Amino acid sequence: MAGLLVDGNWTQKDEFAEDDGKFKREDSAFRNWITADGGSGPDGQEAVEAEAGRFHLYVSYACPWAHRALIFRHLKGLEDLIPVSVVHPHMLDHGWELKDDFPGATGDPLYGKSYLHEIYTRAKPDYSGKVTVPVLWDTQEEMIVNNESAEVIRIFNSAFNEITGNTSDFYPEALRGEIDEVNARVYEPVNNGVYKCGFAESQEAYDENITPLFDTLDWLEARLSDGRDFLVGNQLTEADIRLFTTLIRFDPVYFVHFKCNLKMIRQYDALNAYLQRIYEMPEVKPTVNFDHIKQHYYYSHKHINPYRIVPQGPRDLVAS
């Protein structure tokens, strides 16, 4: 099911696409920053100072956007600094639920709320818009710092370095131009493209997006077929993590559920090896929860899968 807040009130919406049958993703609403000294963000955003124990992260194991933030939290050694609340995989009439009756779901240890939209209205009582994860929460000011995953991972990449001593850089200055180019090339046709196919409510909308999706996967396969292990600079960067969270869901979910069925990732030699390589990283593998992923998509999207049957396959969720 779908829904949103209108002036602080939860409102049910039964369709995911617009009147033209096309799925359109809204921009994230909370775009502040965290910096080491509390100075402004990279584009002049208002910022708060990085502190241990001040911040909290609301995520879904199922959501690829939230998954980016979880991986960066591990890569940057932030597990003890930034606790996590994990929503229930079933997103039903009230959106993301803060229940703990599914393995891995935590409930809401901060406030005991039942739904994520109650966290949004705690931050802004008259908020209007979608209720999404990840949510980077400031427990001191009781506000949402940021709910845009592309920015949350960059906050995690550098803001807490002086506290943790972890200076690993997944958006290095020398590679930023190329990383930005790859991100832009991948985002619309792949990261967002699977949703534009899956949530299409007309044949035209689906046909418009299926070809760019697989054209870009072919481009990625070629890029990774020249001996490189990663997309940019032959080192792990944010470009890899942004792509990985889509690829890991592709064969179990998007291929069937979203009708992205021209080809499975395991049928691409280089892309499949790349997916396996990242998946086996010790900072990445613990963040992948296929039970949450499959339960969320197949159970929550009743308009696509009305009997809510969760398929068992593929037999090997990550093909080796």
pLDDT tens-digit readout, 230-262: 999 989 999 999 999 999 999 999 999 999 999
State the number of CA atoms in the 13 A half-sphere of 119 facing the CB. Answer: 36
Class of domain 2-164: alpha beta
pLDDT > 90? residue 20: no
Q: Average of pLDDT values for 95-105?
A: 98
User: How does the average pLDDT of the chain come out, rounded?
Assistant: 95
* Structural domain boundaries in the chain: 2-164, 173-281
Q: Average of pLDDT values for 97-126?
A: 98
Report the CATH number of the 173-281 domain.
1.20.1050.10
Place of tokens 């002049």: 44
Query: Residue 167: pLDDT band by 50, 70, 90 thresholds?
Result: very high
Catalytic residue positions? 63, 195
Closest residue by Cα to residue 301 from 88, 125, 142, 92: 92
pLDDT tens-digit series, residues 251-292: 999 999 999 999 999 999 999 999 999 999 999 999 999 999
Is the separation of the CB atoms in 252 and 265 below 8 Å?
no
Give Cβ neighbours of residue 176 (< 8 Å, ≥ 6 apart): none
